[in-house]
């Protein structure tokens, strides 16, 4: 049963243009939440009470009839022009392999240095989302370790812990799916914030004090993601950790941790409006401040299985004292887009052996059989990654639609 929305949560991001819709049903086949109504041949409509805001219908509509209606490009340009505002871009890994397409470059080309050069030329300060993803990995991996200690090894562990299996929580469309359709299983979601949830407070607390040395109110945090659902996530009422922190120190301003989100398509439009072409911009070294540093583990968040692998490697190292070798996933017969693996673990303190069973799912609908196992009390898994978009964020709803590039 869909939940009631909180007043300030941004929904209705994705809309169908009735003048362009041919009623071909393609959008319905890509929607993970059965949120699109309309008979074949008739104009279709999105049911906002059911929609995850993932934009899969948008990137797959053959008639370009579906729009992302949240356009903050001009607002960000105004902030960039304001000398009293420090505009911090936090950029996700999947953006750098897709942005070039919007400029007519070869699809899938990695253009990290050109992208940073373009962002710096536009006036952004950089905080790489990979840095925040490292924080997510540490939190999520530590949470998993505590659950293994409590539920598998029967050790006493302090603090409240959700049950196993633990689900990843960094995909906002998946989190929304769980909240709307399986609210009774929400405790299985990791309590770790997504990289976007981590990035805003780090930029507005540590970044304000130590890196850019400005008042937190002067920082305007722009998430740059391959994802339309990140626009909803940034607007969630619980993501005000930086303002809450600064209020305890006498500040009065109220603001979101991430002020606005640009998709990859939005960033391309912004750069084009500023006459910046990633094809001939001076490439820039990204690691020019501590918040642009990262281990590289977060980079694999962009593809399906990446979040799971990064967090699992952390947990494995802490429990065994050794690096985890290559993971060998097997597709599950009869289950679409579900892969599983078994990871033997020999505890470093006493040599005890346990086996962790993990699963990776992409395409939110495909998780239903695994949720049914949990509800029936017979799930064999300890850790499950779910990413809404097919193949993960690289195929997100905010990625380029036309591989030949849009016009200037």
Q: How far apart are CA 107 and CA 361, in angstroms?
A: 25
Q: What are φ and ψ of residue 103, in 5° steps?
A: -110, 20
- Residue 258 contacts ligand SF4 per CB under 6 A: no
Instruction: Confirm whether 247 is a catalytic residue.
Output: no
Q: Of 88 and 361, which CB lies nearer to ligand SF4 in the complex structure?
A: 361
Report, in Å, the least distance between residue 375 CB and ligand SF4: 23
Report, in Å, the least distance between residue 385 CB and ligand SF4: 10
- Residue 227 contacts ligand SF4 per CB under 6 A: yes
Report, in Å, the least distance between residue 54 CB and ligand SF4: 4
Q: Of 199 and 281, which CB lies nearer to ligand SF4 in the complex structure?
A: 199
Q: Which of 91, 99, 171, 224 binds ligand SF4 (CB under 6 A)?
A: 171
Tell me the C-alpha to C-alpha distance, in Å, between residue 281 and each of 113, 116, 288, 302.
Answer: 9, 9, 18, 25
Cis peptide upstream of residue 173 (ω within 30 degrees of 0): no
Tell me the C-alpha to C-alpha distance, in Å, between residue 3 and each of 47, 51, 175, 179, 257.
Answer: 13, 11, 13, 7, 24
- Residue 198 contacts ligand SF4 per CB under 6 A: no
Within 10 Å of residue 318's Cβ, how many Cβ atoms?
14
Report, in Å, the least distance between residue 92 CB and ligand SF4: 8
Within 10 Å of residue 209's Cβ, how many Cβ atoms?
12
C-alpha closest to that of 259 among 247, 244, 242: 242
Q: Which stretch binds ligand SF4 (CB under 6 A): 78-86, 165-173, 181-189, 211-219?
A: 165-173
Token pair, residue 232, equals: 């909803």
Q: Of 201 and 396, which CB lies nearer to ligand SF4 in the complex structure?
A: 396
Residues with Cβ within 8 Å of residue 328, at least 6 apart in sequence: 341
Q: Which stretch binds ligand SF4 (CB under 6 A): 4-12, 21-29, 156-164, 166-174?
A: 166-174
Q: How far apart are CA 278 and CA 111, in angstroms?
A: 8
Q: How far apart are CA 199 and CA 93, in angstroms?
A: 14
Instruction: Confirm whether 233 is a catalytic residue.
Output: yes
Q: Of 197 and 216, which CB lies nearer to ligand SF4 in the complex structure?
A: 197
Tell me the C-alpha to C-alpha distance, in Å, between residue 262 and each of 92, 141, 360.
Answer: 11, 29, 27
Report, in Å, the least distance between residue 372 CB and ligand SF4: 22
Report, in Å, the least distance between residue 390 CB and ligand SF4: 9
Q: Which stretch binds ligand SF4 (CB under 6 A): 168-176, 249-257, 271-279, 314-322?
A: 168-176
With CB under 6 A, what is the number of residues at the site for ligand SF4?
A: 13
Q: Which stretch binds ligand SF4 (CB under 6 A): 29-37, 285-293, 312-320, 388-396?
A: 388-396
Catalytic residues: 140, 143, 170, 190, 230, 233, 238, 393
Which residues make up the interface to ligand SF4 (CB under 6 A)? 54, 171-173, 226-227, 229, 387-389, 392-393, 396
């Amino acid at each position: 049963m869909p939940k009631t929305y909180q007043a300030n949560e941004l929904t209705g991001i994705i809309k169908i243009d009735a003048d362009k819709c041919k009623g071909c049903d393609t959008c319905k086949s890509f929607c993970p939440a059965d949120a699109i109504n309309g008979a074949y041949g008739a104009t279709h409509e999105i049911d906002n009470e059911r929609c995850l805001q993932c934009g899969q219908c948008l990137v797959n509509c053959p008639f370009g009839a579906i729009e992302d209606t949240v356009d903050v490009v001009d607002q960000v340009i105004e902030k960039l022009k304001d000398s009293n505002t420090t505009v911090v871009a936090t950029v996700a890994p999947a953006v750098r392999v897709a942005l070039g397409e919007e400029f007519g470059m070869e699809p899938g080309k990695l253009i990290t240095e050109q992208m940073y050069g373009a962002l710096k030329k536009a006036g952004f300060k950089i905080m790489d989302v990979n840095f925040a993803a490292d924080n997510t990995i540490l939190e999520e991996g530590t949470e998993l370790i505590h659950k293994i200690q409590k539920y598998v090894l029967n050790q006493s562990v302090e603090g409240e812990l959700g049950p196993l299996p633990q689900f990843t929580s960094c995909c906002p469309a998946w989190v929304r799916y769980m909240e709307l359709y399986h609210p009774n299983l929400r405790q299985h979601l990791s309590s770790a914030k997504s990289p976007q949830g981590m990035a805003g407070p780090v930029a507005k607390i540590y970044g304000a004090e130590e890196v850019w040395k400005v008042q937190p109110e002067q920082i305007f945090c722009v998430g740059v993601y391959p994802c339309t659902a990140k626009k909803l996530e940034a607007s969630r009422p619980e993501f005000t950790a930086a303002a809450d922190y600064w209020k305890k120190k006498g500040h009065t301003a109220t603001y979101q941790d991430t002020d606005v989100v640009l998709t990859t398509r939005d960033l391309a439009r912004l750069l084009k409006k500023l006459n910046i072409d990633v094809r001939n911009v001076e490439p820039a070294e990204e690691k020019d401040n501590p918040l642009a540093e990262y281990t590289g583990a977060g980079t694999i968040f962009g593809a399906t299985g990446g979040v799971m692998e990064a967090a699992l490697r952390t947990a494995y190292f802490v429990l065994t004292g050794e690096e985890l070798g290559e993971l060998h996933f097997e597709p599950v017969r009869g289950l679409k887009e579900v892969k599983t693996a078994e990871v033997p673990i020999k505890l470093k303190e006493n040599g005890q052996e346990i086996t962790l069973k993990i699963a990776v799912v992409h395409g939110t609908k495909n998780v239903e059989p695994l949720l049914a196992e949990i509800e029936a009390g017979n799930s064999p898994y300890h850790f499950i990654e779910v990413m809404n978009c097919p193949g993960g964020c690289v195929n997100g709803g905010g990625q380029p639609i036309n591989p030949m590039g849009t016009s200037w």
